[in-house]
A and B are shown apart, each in its own frame.
Chain A
Amino acid sequence: MIDFLTLLQVLDSSLRLATPLLLVCLAGLFSERAGIFDIGLEGKLLAAAFVSAAFAAITGSVWMGLLAGIFASILLSLLHGLASITLRGDQIISGVAINFLAAGLTVVAAQDLFGQGGRTPPLKSGGRFEPLSFPWASSSKEMSEAGPLMQLYSELLSGHSLLVYVALLTVPLSWFVLYKTRFGLRLRAVGENPAAVDTAGISVVGLRYAAVVIGGILCGIAGAYIATSLQANFTKDMSAGRGFIALAALIFAKWRPWYALAACLLFGFFFAVDNRFQNILLPAWSLSCILGVISIALLSYVWRKDYLDKVVLGGLALGVAVIAFMVVNSVWTTGITSQVKIPVVFIQSLPYVLTVVVLAGFVGRAIPPKAGGQPYVKER
């Protein structure tokens, strides 16, 4: 049913879909590790997408677009910093405001500049990040004849835009910066106990600004990736909620870089599966067996957990069991071997269901940085 090449194609797609999530997730990681919650990731992503597409269209150079996108995203970060660090405002409100600002301004500015109704003109080659072909990679036409290793090399590893590799490299880089440098130690400390950092004579405000600016840079790269690599222009609301999904991935990853990579790849994988397998036909018996096993596994797992987990996961197990029963019931007359179509809605909701399940028990408690969300006020 699913051959190796298909699997590779799905993984290939997962990687493309995970890239913007990963960059935005790491942006949130830096910011939240320093104690600044960032709901405005979506807005920064959208603004960067617009500015990079607009600049690439005007100058004809994708690098100018990338720089301009990063610049725009940093500006919004600084705005967030001004409101929530310097002026000690509510970080959530400031973030929401940035989302609204970006959603409105991008369309208005695009309409004013290009008169194409809130979109930017399509980019020619040179104005986009083209896919990079690795040496000796086989083209898509001869892919099916190539050996498995060659397929792995040409389909999954080769053929992505430069920014995908950049995004993957930011993971070890973020890990190194956060855990192996003095700056990283201070940054993490400022999110846990800013007073202690302050006592040591290090500027809390400076560290927090540095963190949001790093977040701005990463969001800028993500926006440029969406608008100038995946697409060839900006369109209204094209970030389509990816900033919020990245936030979910961040909690899922417990604010750690390598976990963030895993979480984003998993989300990307589920989105890719939903794109590729919209109508899965399974024999009724196997479907109900799978559901039954999931239900029993959930129940036996939840047995040893505390009250809240019992309610959430137990409820879920019950739901799964009911669906399994419904499947059996619906094929009662036609026979247990007949095929059942898994509705596309179910596949599309998988990433979200998974988040709930994982957060409710499997990753353990996700504890945010202790000082997150609170403006730092020096004691007098």
Chain B
Amino acid sequence: MNIVTKLLSTAVGLTMSAGLALAEPAIIFDLGGKFDKSFNESAFTGAQRWADETGGSFREIELQNEAQREQALRRFAEAGANPIVMAGFAFADSLGKVAPDYPDTKFAVIDVNWLSLPNVRGIGFNEHEGSYLVGMLAAQASKTGTVGFVGGMDIPLIRRFGCGYAQGVKAVNPNATIIANMTGTTPAAWNDPVKGSELTKAQISQGADVVYAAAGGTGVGVLQTAADEGILSIGVDANQNYLHPGQVLTSMLKRVDNAVYEAFSAGENLETGNFQMGIANGGVGYALDEHNASLVSSEMKAAVDTAASSIANGSMSVHNYTDDETCPAVSF
């Protein structure tokens, strides 16, 4: 009994001292993996930028399966990491359970903006706004008047991408046809490039000549096939223009890196509550660099920038699929 008590108190003492010594931030990547060239990689870039600039270090883990979510969260919280950043909507349930148990730890979660817990910062992105902009570019670049959308897992968040995109396409060309496909209904849909390729080929055979991929690792297959077949593609989350220079029209930028960077910089003083990142505060946008300069003409750029500024100042709004689970421009 005595020994047990002793051991326990030592253990508690150790964890507490560890907590005091290691108030370093932590980040948990979702199943797509840290280097998915997309969402998670963008989160990693933000964390790395913070580490490079401050010389600090951070803890990280890549989840391998669903069961690890809560476990990883608790491990980091027990180890005294603060704040703990999670990349992905799928953390919502686990965080709802874990956060109340660690009131002194700050949590930040990306793509979740409906939790109202005193120590949680929820960061939502207006992906429909960014997707609207790339949709406008797609419609202007398309010669056939048919464009495609390949989503990853069929969830409301991905439908929000597709819906914003479709609205942008229709804004430029009301008669345009939009073919919207989802890869699957399980998390495996984020990692199936072969299926991404086949969906793209199916869309091309239906006349699509620009395809927008919002599908994590599956999107790599979409971009590859688009390049092989000589049509244009649109990347997502991170800037993917460089993957196939001259064949990726643009990328819808979701500045997850900025969100992670800000959370890490704020440290333990992280402001909690729910925040929304849109065009107005630089949360979403489209990528223009040397790899796609020849694809985006100055008229196309002017049209998109005009729309961006009217969305930013509130004179125009893009319908958000998740508001009412309907989309005026496309049916899923």
List chain A positions with a Cβ less than 8 A from chain B: 6, 9, 13, 16-17, 20, 107, 111, 116-119, 122, 226, 230-233, 235-238, 240-242, 271-272, 275-276, 278-279, 341, 344-345, 348
Contact = CB atoms under 8 A, between A and B. Distances in A.
Interface of B: 33-37, 41, 154, 180-182, 184-185, 188, 191-195, 197-199, 201-202, 205, 217, 220-221, 224, 228, 243, 331-332
Contact of A230 (B34, B197, B199): B197
Given A117-B41, A231-B224, A240-B192, A271 B198 contact: yes
Name the 9 nearest CB pairs between A and B, nearest first. Answer: A117-B35, A240-B192, A276-B202, A9-B205, A237-B191, A275-B202, A275-B198, A278-B181, A275-B199
Contact of A118 (B33, B181, B185): B33
B191 A238 contact: yes
Contacts, number: 83
B243 A231 contact: no
Contact of B198 (A233, A272, A341): A272
A366 B321 CA distance: 47
A240 B188 contact: yes
A129 to B, nearest CB: 12
A197 to B, nearest CB: 39
Contacts of B184: 348
A117 B194 contact: no
A116 B35 contact: yes
Nearest to A119: B35
Nearest to A107: B33
A122 B228 CA distance: 12
A14 to B, nearest CB: 10
Contacts of A341: 331
Contacts of B154: 344-345
B224 A279 contact: no
Contact of B224 (A118, A122, A237, A278): A122
A52 B154 CA distance: 32
B202 A235 contact: no
A344 B182 contact: yes
Contacts of B199: 275
A122 B243 contact: yes
Given A117-B37, A119-B35, 6 more contacts: A9-B202, A17-B194, A230-B194, A235-B191, A344-B154, A344-B182
13 contacts: A6-B205, A111-B35, A117-B41, A119-B220, A226-B194, A231-B193, A231-B224, A232-B224, A235-B220, A236-B191, A271-B195, A275-B181, A341-B331
A13 B198 contact: yes
Nearest to B34: A117
Nearest to A116: B35
Contacts of B185: 345, 348
A279 B192 contact: no
Nearest to A155: B205
A226 B33 CA distance: 21
Contact of B188 (A17, A20, A107, A241): A241
**Interface-centre pick from B188, B193, B197 (highest chain A CB count, 10 A):** B193
B187 to A, nearest CB: 11
Contacts of A119: 35, 37, 220
A235 B332 contact: no
Contacts of A276: 202, 205
B198 A17 contact: yes
Nearest to A345: B185
A70 B297 CA distance: 47
Contact of A238 (B36, B181, B192, B201): B192
Contacts of B194: 17, 20, 226, 230-231, 238, 240, 242
Contacts of B192: 238, 240
Contacts of B201: 13
Nearest to A225: B194
A200 B180 CA distance: 62
A235 B243 contact: no
A350 B180 CA distance: 20
Given A9-B202, A236-B33, A231 B221 contact: yes
Nearest to B194: A230
Nearest to B224: A232
Given A13-B201, A226-B194, A240-B191, A117 B181 contact: no
Given A116-B35, A344-B154, A231 B197 contact: yes
Contacts of A240: 188, 191-192, 194-195
Nearest to B228: A232
A242 B34 CA distance: 24
B332 to A, nearest CB: 7
Contact of A278 (B182, B193, B243): B182
A103 to B, nearest CB: 9
Nearest to A272: B198
Contacts of A275: 181, 195, 198-199, 202
Contacts of B41: 117
A277 B309 CA distance: 38
B226 to A, nearest CB: 12
Contacts of A278: 180-182
A275 B164 CA distance: 22
Contacts of A230: 194, 197, 221
A348 B36 CA distance: 25
A241 B154 CA distance: 19
A204 to B, nearest CB: 38
Contacts of A241: 188
A233 B220 CA distance: 9
A282 B217 CA distance: 33
A278 B198 CA distance: 13
B80 to A, nearest CB: 28
B331 A235 contact: no
**Interface-centre pick from A20, A242, A341, A344 (highest chain B CB count, 10 A):** A344
A118 B35 contact: yes
B332 A279 contact: yes
A278 B224 CA distance: 22
B197 to A, nearest CB: 6
Contacts of B37: 117, 119
B304 to A, nearest CB: 28
A241 B182 CA distance: 18
Nearest to A8: B205
Nearest to A125: B228
Contacts of B332: 279
